[in-house]
Amino acid sequence: MKAIEIKNLIFTYMGEEKPALEIDDFYVNEGESILLTGRSGSGKSTLINCINGIIPHVISGELKGSVRLMGEEVREMKLPDIARTVGTLLQDPERQVMNYNIVDEIAFGPENLKFSRDEMERRINRAISVVGLESFIERETTKLSGGELQRVALASVIAMEPKIMILDEPTSNIDPEGTEQIFRFIQDNRENMTQIIVEHKVERALPFVDRVVVVNDGKIILNVSKEHLMRDVEVLLDAGIEIPEEYIYAKQLGLDTVDPEVIREKIREKGLNLSRRVRRNDGETVLSSHLDVDVEGRKIVSTDLNLKKGQVYCIMGKNGAGKTTLIKGLMDFLNKKQFSVSSSLNIEGEDLSGKDYVLRGRKIAYLPQSFDLMLVSKSVESEVYYSAKHRKIPGFREIGDELIGMFSLDDKRMTDPLMLSTGQRRRVCMAAALASSAHIMLMDEPTSGQDFLNKKILGEEIRKLCARGFTFLIVTHDSRFAYRYGDYIGIMDNGRIIHEGEPDHIFRFSSEYGVIAPSDYVLRAEEKEVVS
């Protein structure tokens, strides 16, 4: 039986002339698992919203054609019936989690569908076990890390036990250990649950799916079994999809395997030289700090940190290791009612220990994961000027104008930032943050939910800024981004940076701490360096 069947679907958002989605014929069999991928803005979210009933029941527009779930027409189904049939894990868990208590959050869906208490308890306990929430089940949702919150959101969807599950970027905020748990759940439930995994990182999801579907410009341009994916590498690259590097070399070398270690040996046999980036770690020290953070008498961070001028330093580690707490502590952004903070901080020779975020903000800038929350002005120009103007930074217009040019935003000066693309909005936020004359930027998961092209643009922007003397501290789970654009990696565990060094050194043993080495590293490493 077809779990999802779409025919002659055309959807146009209200006020738009061009359809956002045009699909002639598409289906997903019951029990099948597919990977849905494509660049940001390609139409993936619109397709998902047509399947889960958000379109047309919540979002209005002109809808033509047919979308059926388990044989029933979506537009004719009631929302409670759709909720029993299809569950969706959103990319941003903060938009999905509504309760302070974790158990209350997991119980919310089954309770609203009026299941018996015994049935609710069974579903809640199963969801807690599947996702692995036991270690922090008593904590409030407001005190969880992004990855922990993502797992709570997933548990709340699992508790509904839908026949069809949609996972939108399920691993974007989660460490490799949490990712493994999620994909183990996917693997274990493939036969009794139809699954659609929306993911930019093809490499992560590929072992757990049957088919790969690529959406571009509102149309499905590729729909193949994963076994035949390698022959369509060019289609994926042209569509801006992030392809594991070994796929490219496997096709180039005429191999029928994508095992990175096998391909590495073939590359050496052919005498091919793979590019390696020169790491920049020889600049003067521009930030030196020790930070201690306590919550209710429990120390959650106690670590030293040193940054060099022109360096990209990546903080990596498991969810809950203290990565975001570290950078918020450096900025003095932690709530003093919840956290006890003690720190020493020296930036560019100036002692800022005990100083508040206003003074620290003149030296260090902060870009949160949800950077759209920073946008407060109606034009790019006003946004970039805003903070520096209100802090009365001398020459703020000249500084702002230089940054607008540096980030290629001159032709967008009078445009509302919220009308720009994701990459452009991020550049506006970076320019605004740096306009206060700061030369050090702290970034929290900047690649989360970003497609391959946007991540490449971000990495190249960061490297250009480093060449001009800027320094970056980046919290990330993206090993490939850290390897391609980072100079130094610090592995954080239980609130401390326990190992640090250049990527080629750290990735030799990083898997011991939940940080999986990217295949880019494996292809370039000497055999004795590779640790599985």
% helix, strand, coil for the chain, step of 5: 40, 25, 35
- The single residue listed with the structure tokens 């003149």 is 362
C-beta separation of 2 from 155 below 8 A: no
61 token code pair: 């527009």
Residue closest to 115 by CA, chosen among 161, 59, 69: 161
Q: What is the pTM of this model?
A: 0.82
Q: Are residues 55 and 147 in the same domain?
A: yes
CA-CA distance, 58 to 1, in Å (whole number)? Answer: 28
Q: Quick one: which of 305, 304, 313, 310 has its CA closest to 284?
A: 310
Which domain covers residue 489, as residue numbers? 277-363+439-532
189 and 333 both lie in a single domain:
no
Walking along the chain (532 residues) 10 residues at a time, the average pLDDT comes out as 95 92 96 92 92 94 96 94 92 84 94 92 92 89 82 92 90 72 77 88 84 95 90 87 86 86 90 88 96 92 97 94 94 91 94 92 88 91 92 89 90 90 84 90 88 88 93 95 97 96 96 90 73 44
Please name the amino acid found at residue 167: L
CA distance 180 to 165: 17
8 A C-beta contact, residue 437 and residue 399: yes
Asked if 265 and 236 sit in the same domain, the reply is no
* C-alpha dist (Å) from residue 41 to 10, 18, 501, 513: 16, 14, 37, 35
- Taking a C-beta distance cutoff of 8 angstroms, is the pair 276, 524 a contact? yes
The structural domain count of the chain equals 4
470: its two tokens: 């800027």
Closest to 431 measured CA to CA, from 451, 401, 453, 454:
401
**Domain match, 97 and 151 both:** yes
* Predicted pLDDT at 527: 54
Looking at the structure, tell me whether residues 376 and 490 fall in a common domain: no
The CATH number of whichever domain residue 48 belongs to comes to 3.40.50.300
Greatest Cα pair distance in the chain: 68
Domain boundary pick from 274, 292, 325: 274
What is the rounded (10 degree) CA torsion for 395, 400, 402, 406? 160
Q: Do 125 and 47 belong together in one domain?
A: yes
Tokens of 87: 């569950």
Query: Which of 224, 242, 260 is where one domain is finished?
Result: 242
In what helix (H) or strand (E) does residue 400 lie, and over which residues does it extend?
A: helix 396-406
Quickly tell me which residue has 């060449």 as its tokens. Answer: 467
Cis peptide before 446 (omega within 30 of 0): no
Q: Which two tokens mark 372?
A: 């759209």
First-last CA distance in the chain: 40
Are both 14 and 160 inside the same structural domain? yes
Q: In terms of domains, do 411 and 461 share one?
A: no
Q: Residue 243: name the closest of 206, 211, 272, 274 by CA.
A: 206
Same domain for 258 and 318, yes or no, is no
- Residues 277 and 484 sit within 8 Å (Cβ to Cβ): yes
Task: Read off the tokens for 250.
Answer: 């496997």
Q: Give residue 390's pLDDT.
A: 87
For CA atoms 450, 454, 456, 461, the dihedral sign is negative
Hey, what amino acid is at 51?
I
Sign of the Cα pseudo-torsion (8, 11, 199, 193, in order): negative
Residues 213 and 320 in one domain: no
